[in-house]
Structure formats: C-alpha cells, structure tokens
Amino acid sequence: MMPSSYNKGKKKLRKEEFIMIQVNAIGDACPIPVVKTLNAMKELNGAGTVQTLVDNEIAVQNLTRLAESKGCSIETAKLGEKQYRVTITVGEGAELPENADGICTVPAAETPDNTVVVISADHMGEGDQALGKILLKGFLFALTQQETLPKTVLFYNGGASVTCEGSASLEDLQKLHELGVEILTCGTCLNHYGLAEKLRVGEVTNMYVIVEKQMQATKVIRP
C-alpha cells in the first residue's frame, strides 16, 4: 500500500501527446522514492516523462538503477544543497512490473546455489566486541577460500562500515567482488552513519533488494 504522502506534491502535465508527471520525494526514506517513481511511470500508461525530486545521492543512484533496468533514459541534476532532480523518460512499449519488488536489483548470473551472507554488525557473535571484530575479519577471509562462493553478501546497520574506508576486511571483500560475488550495502545505513562518501567496495542498495535477496536465497548465513 502506498504511503499517504504519495499524492502530495505530485503533478501531471499534458501538452499535446507529451505527458510529464512530477513527483516530490524530498524527505522520503529509502525505498519510498523508488516506489513513488515506479507508480508514476505506470501511471503514464505509455510514453512520457517522470521527474522526481529527492534530497540525497543514494536516492539518485537507486532511481538511476531503476531507469537502467527498464531500458529508460535518465538525466540527473543537482539543484542545490540536498536537492536533486531525476528525469526518467519512458518509451512506448516499455514493460513495467506490476509491483515494486526488486526493481533496483542488478541482475546477476544464475547459479544453482543462491547462498546469501548477511552482515549486520562490525563484529561477529556476542560478548567481547574486539574479539568479535577479529572473528568477523577471519570469517570474511575464510569466505574467500571456499570452493563454492555465496552469490551475495549483504551489509546493513553496523555492518555497513565493513565495506567502507578503514575497514580491515576491504582486501578480502574486493577479492570476493572480483570473483563475482555481489557486495551490497544498505544506502540508508551509510547515510545514517555518515559513510555515504566512504564506500570502497560493492554497490549501494535499498531495503527492497535486501528483502528480495533473502527471500530468493536457497540459504541465508548470518555469522
């Protein structure tokens, strides 16, 4: 169900056969800007343009991924401090999904085993956190040595820092990334901890993708 704020700040303009829908997603947390934009794209019911205003670069990245995944052209512009405009042009015959599930997913090669590893803290286990950080570093190194690698490693909450500048595990994560493992870090978490500019490996993701990856996994590992 769409948040009650969806219709607020949305305008539909028609000039001859050209249709533009404007969406105000400023102040909306991930993944609401994506959901609003997708619904506006469906409302076009054909060719047209959707302009979405957002207040952070993570939302711009997510909307860019949405447009690219649907074969739509996109233009982005920074209008001012914490104000961005994302313009998505939808062509005739564009196929849009019935719902927003997984709309920001970057397609990955299909593999028989779809194992997902979830890292939600910068340490492993309960008890002494210094020990926990050593254990997590060892876990990620051991992961690189496995004969069968996971398809995706998700990082969120305190785990978001593990993919960022200063992390002791960057080398191991880069190796996993080079071996084809998808490394995804929660964008809302990066923003919350002030790490949006310090991501050093993998890509930014949102809560739809985090949920979808775990729902579709054949196995979820939480160290």
202, part of any domain: yes
Query: Which CATH number covers residue 60?
Result: 3.30.110.40
Mean pLDDT of 190-203: 96
Residue 17: band (very low, low, confident or very high) from pLDDT cuts 50, 70, 90 = low
* Most trustworthy range by pLDDT among 34-43, 58-67, 92-101, 156-165: 156-165
Q: Where are the beta strands (DSSP E) in the chain?
A: 11-15, 18-24, 48-54, 73-80, 83-90, 115-119, 152-155, 182-186, 203-205, 219-221
- Judge if 132 and 73 occupy the same domain: no
With contact defined as beta carbons under 8 Å apart, do 31 and 104 qualify? yes
Omega of the bond leading into 31 within 30 degrees of 0 (cis): yes
Span 31-58, mean pLDDT?
A: 90
In a domain, 107, yes or no: no
d(CA 126, CA 157): 16
Is there a domain that residue 22 lies in?
Answer: yes
**What average pLDDT does the segment 15-30 reach?**
81
Position 47 confidence tier, pLDDT thresholds 50, 70, 90: confident
**Residue 76: inside a domain:** yes
Lowest mean pLDDT among 38-52, 66-80, 81-95: 81-95
Tell whether the model's pLDDT for residue 92 goes beyond 60: yes
For residues 164-193, give the mean pLDDT.
96
Lowest mean pLDDT among 103-112, 114-123, 145-154: 103-112
- When the pLDDT of each residue in the chain is averaged and rounded to a whole number, the result is 86
Is there a contact between 133 and 168 (Cβ–Cβ < 8 Å)? yes
**122 and 205, same domain (yes or no):** yes
Same domain, 76 and 151: no
Q: How confident is the model at residue 135 (pLDDT cuts 50, 70, 90)?
A: very high
Structure confidence at residue 111 (pLDDT): 40
User: pLDDT category, 93, cuts 50, 70, 90?
Assistant: low
Indicate the number of domains in the chain.
2
Structural domain boundaries enclosing 52: 11-90
Does the pLDDT at position 101 exceed 60? no
The residues with which 12 forms a beta bridge, in sequence order, are 21
User: Model's pTM, two decimal places?
Assistant: 0.62
The pLDDT of 61-88, averaged and rounded, is 91
Task: Quickly state the pLDDT bin for 174 (edges 50, 70, 90).
Answer: very high
